[in-house]
Structure 1
Amino acid sequence: MTFEQFKVPLKFIYSCFLKPIGSHNDQRGRLDSFYEDQAEVYDATRGRLLRGRLTMLKLTADQLRKQIINTSRKPIWVDIGGGTGWNIEKMNEFFPIEQFEKVYLIDLCTPLCKIAESRFNAKGWNNVYVVCDDAASFKLPKMEDDIGKIDLVTMSYSSDFYVSGRVISSDIRVKQGYYCNWFTRWFWQIWFEFDHINLHPSRRNYVEHQFNAIKCFNGRNHFLIPYLVQIPYYIWLGTIKTSTSNSFEVSEHLDYTGSKPTF
């Protein structure tokens, strides 16, 4: 192999496991430091780790088509934690970006946002906006007349990994692969805490409590140590609760592997 072929995995290994993050006053500083050396190789190094983005986009595109079939209004999409814009570029294959009224990418990491801006400029999409801000407090530009009109919110790699609690309230979750044993629960909570990521079971439970589920898939990623230490991940599609909506579907095996929550 040539040096150029080694360059991508070497940057990934150094940035993720060897490079000192240093001392920072806030989350933006930590993220910028962590990703500044690997932003240009980010997409090339996340394919095996982020197994469900393609599934999430295909399922989401299918749901969008069903929702807009009887309306002429174009949907508005907000992709939270969208990073380099890979999701938005890929979605164009399943639901053309020109068919959205507006698309917003929200991310706090400046190096990744710059990659996204370059990507969208190259595509010539004038309805796609990059908002480099905190997902907990951002404000959308050009949305003065569109408050309450957001049709789709996606979160990819910002909340797709999970661990289950010790007490399982529903047998279907055990049967469909929801449950995590004590070692998996302990190991991955500690592992992700090194990167300031909290996998507390209540996070996913809260989403499922607040929204009506449309589709749900629980999987395991054999990225690091196959069949020994498997990363629990899930896809979740849901909708705002109404007095008439009460749909729930669990699919143990989908046509394509996946891992992201969407609502």
Structure 2
Amino acid sequence: MTENSSSLLGDLKILWHLAARRVRGGTHAERLENFYSGQADNYDSFRKRMLHGRREMIDRVPVSEGDVWIDLGAGTGENAEHLGERIGSLGQMYLVDLAPSLLNVASQRIEARGWDNVTTACADATTFRPPEGTADVVTFSYSLTMIPDWFRAIENALALLKPGGRIGVVDFYVARKYPAEGHRKHGWSTRTVWPAWFGSDNVFLSPDHVPFLESHFETEVLEENRGKVPYLPLVRAPYYFFVGRKPSGT
């Protein structure tokens, strides 16, 4: 089988899971594992063409020697790749997710790269605590839209961060009907179609992510863009990335 045909078969498998397979499970963790278990091996190749802005967000997060970095909803750990050589300067990086099948891929990646300062954790983003107790960086990469209590996850990140620590978020979203001055405005079709389209896979776009982040952190970077969708050449999905700083007095 050629590389191209193998890639196409992997894409078709992902598309079947996205469009046709019913998600089952009594808890959020069970639903995540049910959704991802059949597509974990092909997860990265498909989603790198779908999940835009990850590298740009990570590049804008400053790293100092010995920092603790927590990636909440880390999936297969591909975000760690975007750190490049900077990963070696971290004291510790935690890849946190509720889907064991995705963390298995992350563990294989860690072993293959020889990262002795990167650890996986099967845990809830709303309650996770590292052994160190605090962190210098917390990131969410296309995970907030899959966390039912996303506001609790952000509040947990705020509690985890040291004063002056950074949060980085990249995700799909829709703007509020009447966004604050200086923010992107979306028309009715964008605000209606995309939540329905993603919602069928339990990915819930929100107009409140960005305002909530801005109310809890000092905004350092905010970009609101649109990105290509595989096999839909004329379609662009709305996404944002945000980097913020925890106020020193909190």
| TM-score relative to the length of structure 1 | 0.78
Deviation sequence 1:181-218 (CA, Å, 0-9, x none): 11100111112221223222122211111111111111
Which residue of structure 2 aligns with residue 197 of structure 1?
A: 203
Deviation sequence 1:163-184 (CA, Å, 0-9, x none): 11111231x22xxxx1111110
Q: In 2 relative to 1, CA 216–5 (structure 1 residues): closer, same or farther, beyond 3 Å?
A: closer
Given that residues 103 and 129 in structure 1 are in contact (C-alpha distance below 8 angstroms), is that contact kept between their aligned partners in structure 2? yes
Distance in 2, matches of 1:236 and 1:35, equals 26
Which structure has greater strand proportion? 2
What code does the residue aligned with 2:219 have?
A
1:1-263 mapped onto 2 (5 Å cutoff): 2=2, 3-21=5-23, 23-60=24-61, 63-64=62-63, 68=64, 74-93=66-85, 95=86, 97-140=87-130, 143=131, 146-148=132-134, 150-159=135-144, 160-170=171-181, 172-173=182-183, 178-223=184-229, 225-227=232-234, 229-242=235-248
Distance in 1, matches of 2:7 and 2:111, equals 27
Secondary structure of 1:9's counterpart equals: helix
Secondary structure of 2:70's counterpart equals: strand
Larger radius of gyration: 1
Distance in 1, matches of 2:67 and 2:56, equals 20
What RMSD, in angstroms, separates the aligned Cα atoms of the two structures?
1.9
Given that residues 184 and 230 in structure 1 are in contact (C-alpha distance below 8 angstroms), is that contact kept between their aligned partners in structure 2? no
Identity %: 33
Distance in 2, matches of 1:154 and 1:59, equals 12
Distance in 2, matches of 1:168 and 1:6, equals 40
| TM-score relative to the length of structure 2 | 0.81
Which residue of structure 2 aligns with residue 248 of structure 1?
A: none
Given that residues 161 and 234 in structure 1 are in contact (C-alpha distance below 8 angstroms), is that contact kept between their aligned partners in structure 2? yes
Secondary structure of 2:48's counterpart equals: coil
